[in-house]
Amino acid sequence: MKAFLIDRYGKDVAGDVTEAPEPHVGDFDVLVETHAASVNVLDLKIRKGEFKLILPFSMPLILGNDVAGTVKRVGAKVSRFRAGDAVYARVDQARMGGFAEFVAVSESSVALKPGNVSMEQAASLPLVALTAWQALADVAKVQPGQKVLIHAGSGGVGSIAIQIAKYLGAFVATTTSTANVEWVKALGADVVIDYRTQPFESQLSDYDVVLSGQGGEVLKKSLMVLKPGGLLISISGPPTPEFAEQLGLSWPFKQVVRLISRGIRKKAEQKGVSYKFLFMKENGEQLAELAKLVETGVIKPVIDRIFPFESTRDAMAYVAEGRAKGKVVVTVK
């Protein structure tokens, strides 16, 4: 089969579409013939080797975390799917492999594709929708009337998180560039901060939740807009000791994680708020529920550009520029 893969880590590694063996299909696996896959910032970080210490992969490595396609065949113990089903999935983190003509995914990570959207639209959703849902509904447990700040509202996660936060009944603020102010308002944002001209930390206050995919000063300043007891959720790090425990890291790695997140955790404690790091988990049951929200129009997929499979390298370069509105998708079939 054809697949887009890398043979080593590095910021200058581009990757290539080449021939690769079809994946092994285990008893609980679904073999998906990929119609479309989307590019995530996570793919760029993995390519650079940012997670190699905690998520070791073998080389050559097929990238790609989101897919939509048709079930080609199923493992001997799979009961929920059959050949011909149209499905979408956040590919199992331990295996990845979405940028390929075929990918094997655990049955528990797969859901039937929303019936009212294209394969490309479906492929744009799993990672960002699961991230937004797990952050806002599972971790923050957002309630109607609460105030939520979502950074980078025009990005992949942000554009879906705005819609999910509104569905949960929140009052939503977001940050974006000048060109996208009206666009994110149309997604449902109640307040839009143009980060080019307005410092969000002086414009917003008494927020219950902040969801951030940015680090550095943005993360620190986010603490300033929270009310006492508020919650800052980061999807880009630094990771927390709690995350290290969940991942089962060795003692030395746990100490490294504790050290690199010490600063932001201490600042949060001083402010009387909480800091949590979220590393989204694949979840087919949640994808099935999210599919219902897509079919009822609560969530609308947001796609910036669609590239042919042969141009996967270009699609990743475009995402790396950081200007995409919503998601970037690759059509495989």
Q: Please write the tens of the pLDDT for every residue from 55-87.
A: 778 999 999 999 999 999 999 999 999 999 999
Give SS3 for 100.
strand
Tens-place pLDDT, residues 276-300: 999 999 999 999 999 999 999 999 9
Give domain status of residue 289, yes or no.
no
Crossing angle for the helix pair 156-167 and 126-133, to the nearest 10 degrees: 50
- Give, for all 333 residues of the chain, the pLDDT tens digit: 999 999 999 988 999 999 999 999 999 999 999 999 999 999 999 999 988 877 778 999 999 999 999 999 999 999 999 999 999 999 998 889 999 999 999 999 999 999 999 999 999 999 999 999 999 999 999 999 999 999 999 999 999 999 999 999 999 999 999 999 999 999 999 999 999 999 999 999 999 999 999 888 999 999 999 999 999 999 988 999 988 888 787 888 889 889 989 999 999 999 999 999 999 999 999 999 999 999 999 999 999 999 999 999 999 999 999 889 999 999 999
Same-domain pairing of 203 and 102: no
Give domain status of residue 288, yes or no.
no
Same-domain pairing of 14 and 51: yes
Cβ neighbours of 106 (radius 10 Å): 19
Give domain status of residue 137, yes or no.
yes
Strand locations in 24-74 (E):
29-39, 61-62, 66-74
CA distance 85 to 112: 7
Same-domain pairing of 112 and 138: no
| Closest by Cα among 189, 182, 196, 183 to 165 | 189
How many domains are contained in the chain?
2
Domain encompassing residue 314: 2-123+301-331
Give SS3 for 176.
strand
Structure letter (DSSP) for residue 101: S
What the block records as the tokens of 47 is 């390519």
Contact 209, 231 (CB under 8 A): yes
| Closest by Cα among 293, 297, 304 to 328 | 304
Give domain status of residue 296, yes or no.
no
The model's pTM is 0.96
